[in-house]
């Protein structure tokens, strides 16, 4: 029985299922582990932005070491390593706690856990994606971190991949090396959950990011923003972008048409302005809001090319199948004529050839299905309409927000 007033975001469990990522990846221009607009290039930009912010606003937390002294962990030293001019944050004395909302198959979370030494917790509503993310983290193996300590107490570090799993330290000319070996799967954790209800303690993350977090398309997204606010520590950073959202300044009539169109606007309250209002209503302080139309345009354009290519291939296949079916029908008719007096044997042969024609038609008539559990939607129609509306609105499509949880929250 349907709930009368379901929990905010509950409907997302119906929409996102196993098979969604297979379907999405069919049309996605970026690599499978990066199911967001802009791929790795955009992830690198996010990483630089986050580091810059941490560098500028870092506040040591109670109980955390503030310098990379002899007792500092190697990973904290690693976080501080490129001290000259790269904008890396000062060490916390523990790994940075980071959450990836709507993490998909975990490409970014695993990458950041391995290369930055951060502890990254990914959350996604699709169970098969969470399983794939865990496999990815296991498959990455072990990372060795090296922290150097010089007699004058300067600190530096580097990291490299290894399959070894020991730890130790060595000394030469007064320089001390401290090695630590970490399984990436201990640093990249994945939760099967909705961003509307996250099984994570309050005030526990330094940074929450989302790369095209589709859970935010839900009109009740303010509740998801409150969840993000809850899990962030005071002063913590929230960073996301979402690329198919009507951008700033769309005329009201065009926005209404986009929403009323069953292809493009199934989600009400889907606009750049409403996202920003909801972030503020949840209690965040805005740091930066930007239009990400350029990113959306590149991504949607590349997607449109893939869809067009696929349509062309499908048309060719259909033509070939029609030709096969016609040939089968012709030979069936010929066999029926020739075997009119030959009795049951000829009848069986006709039936078999007729079946061949039907199965060819079945293969040709269906296309674009996703895996089990996910009901594929006609992407070509959606894309065409989305591009049409965004062109009318001057290409404006997508929202990028950086916000912080107030220290007093
Ligand atoms: C466009 S994909 C982006 C995936 C990932 N961020 C990446 O860059 O590869 C959107 C993701 O949102 C997830 N999602 C949708 N609604 C969600 C919700 N309410 N809670 C958690 N994840 C959700 C989907 O399962 C999907 O993995």
pLDDT of residue 357: 31
Measured at the CA of 80, the angle between CA 77 and CA 81, to 5 degrees, comes to: 80
The rounded Å distance from CA 203 to ligand 1 centre is 23
Round to whole Å and give the CA distance between 109 and 188.
Answer: 6
Confidence band of 138 (pLDDT split at 50, 70, 90) = very high
In a domain, 165, yes or no: no
In a domain, 343, yes or no: no
| Closest atom, ligand 1, to C-alpha of 210 | 6
In a domain, 162, yes or no: no
The rounded Å distance from CA 35 to ligand 1 centre is 9
In a domain, 357, yes or no: no
What sign has the CA pseudo-torsion 99, 185, 128, 40? positive
Round to whole Å and give the CA distance between 123 and 103.
Answer: 6
Q: Three-state DSSP class for 21?
A: helix
CATH code assigned at 218: 3.40.50.150
Q: What is the pLDDT of residues 315-350, one digit of tens each?
A: 899 999 999 999 999 998 888 887 665 544 433 333
Q: Three-state DSSP class for 168?
A: strand
Other CB atoms within a 10 A radius of the CB of residue 267 amount to 14
In a domain, 394, yes or no: yes
pLDDT of residue 381: 85
Q: Which of 18, 211, 214 to mutate to test the pocket of ligand 1 (most atoms within 8 A of CB)?
A: 214
Q: What is the pLDDT of residues 192-251, one digit of tens each?
A: 999 999 999 999 999 999 999 999 999 999 999 999 999 999 999 999 999 989 999 899
The residue contributing the CA closest to ligand 1 atom 7 is 35
Q: Are 368 and 378 in contact (CB under 8 A)?
A: yes
In a domain, 38, yes or no: yes
pLDDT higher than threshold 70 for residue 365: no
Q: Report the percent of the chain where pLDDT is more than 90.
A: 52
Round to whole Å and give the CA distance between 16 and 240.
Answer: 20
Round to whole Å and give the CA distance between 98 and 17.
Answer: 25
Q: Which of 23, 32, 104, 192 to mutate to test the pocket of ligand 1 (most atoms within 8 A of CB)?
A: 104
Say how many domains are in the chain: 1
The rounded Å distance from CA 63 to ligand 1 centre is 34
In a domain, 65, yes or no: no
Higher per-residue pLDDT: 70 or 107: 107
Residue 221 domain boundaries? 15-56+92-150+175-330+376-408
pLDDT of residue 91: 65
Mean pLDDT of 24-49: 93
In a domain, 336, yes or no: no
């Amino acid at each position: 029985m349907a709930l009368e007033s379901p929990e905010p975001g509950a409907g997302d469990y119906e929409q996102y299922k196993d098979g969604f990522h297979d379907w999405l990846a069919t049309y996605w221009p970026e690599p499978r582990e990066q199911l967001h607009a802009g791929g790795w290039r955009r992830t690198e930009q996010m990483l630089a932005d986050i580091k810059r912010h941490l560098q500028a606003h870092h506040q040591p937390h109670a109980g955390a070491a503030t310098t990379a002294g002899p007792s500092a962990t190697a990973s904290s030293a690693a976080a501080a390593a490129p001290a000259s001019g790269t904008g890396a944050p000062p060490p916390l004395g523990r790994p940075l706690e980071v959450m990836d909302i709507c993490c998909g198959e975990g490409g970014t979370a695993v990458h950041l856990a391995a290369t930055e030494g951060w502890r990254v917790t990914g959350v996604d509503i699709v169970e098969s994606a969470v399983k794939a993310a865990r496999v990815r983290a296991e498959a990455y193996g072990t990372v060795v971190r090296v922290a150097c300590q010089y007699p004058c107490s300067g600190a530096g570090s580097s990291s490299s991949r290894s399959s070894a799993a020991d730890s130790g330290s060595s000394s030469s000319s007064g320089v001390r090396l401290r090695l630590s070996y970490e399984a990436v799967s201990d640093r990249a954790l994945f939760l099967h959950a909705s961003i509307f209800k996250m099984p994570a303690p309050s005030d526990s993350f330094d940074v929450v990011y989302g790369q095209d977090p589709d859970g935010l398309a839900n009109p009740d997204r303010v509740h998801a923003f409150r969840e993000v606010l809850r899990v962030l520590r005071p002063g913590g950073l929230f960073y996301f972008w979402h690329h198919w959202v009507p951008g700033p300044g769309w005329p009201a009539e065009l926005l209404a048409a986009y929403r009323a169109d069953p292809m493009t606007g199934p989600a009400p309250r889907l606009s750049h302005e409403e996202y920003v209002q909801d972030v503020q209503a949840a209690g965040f302080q805005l740091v930066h809001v930007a239009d990400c139309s350029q990113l959306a345009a590149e991504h949607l354009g590349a997607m449109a090319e893939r869809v067009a290519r696929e349509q062309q291939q499908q048309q060719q296949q259909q033509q070939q199948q029609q030709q096969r079916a016609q040939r089968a029908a012709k030979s069936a008719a010929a066999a029926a004529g020739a075997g009119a007096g030959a009795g049951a044997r000829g009848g069986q042969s006709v039936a078999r050839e007729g079946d061949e024609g039907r199965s060819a038609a079945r293969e040709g008539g269906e296309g674009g299905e996703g895996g089990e559990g996910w009901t594929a939607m006609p992407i070509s129609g959606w894309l065409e309409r989305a591009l049409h509306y965004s062109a009318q609105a001057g290409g404006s499509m997508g929202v990028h927000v950086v916000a912080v949880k107030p220290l007093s929250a």
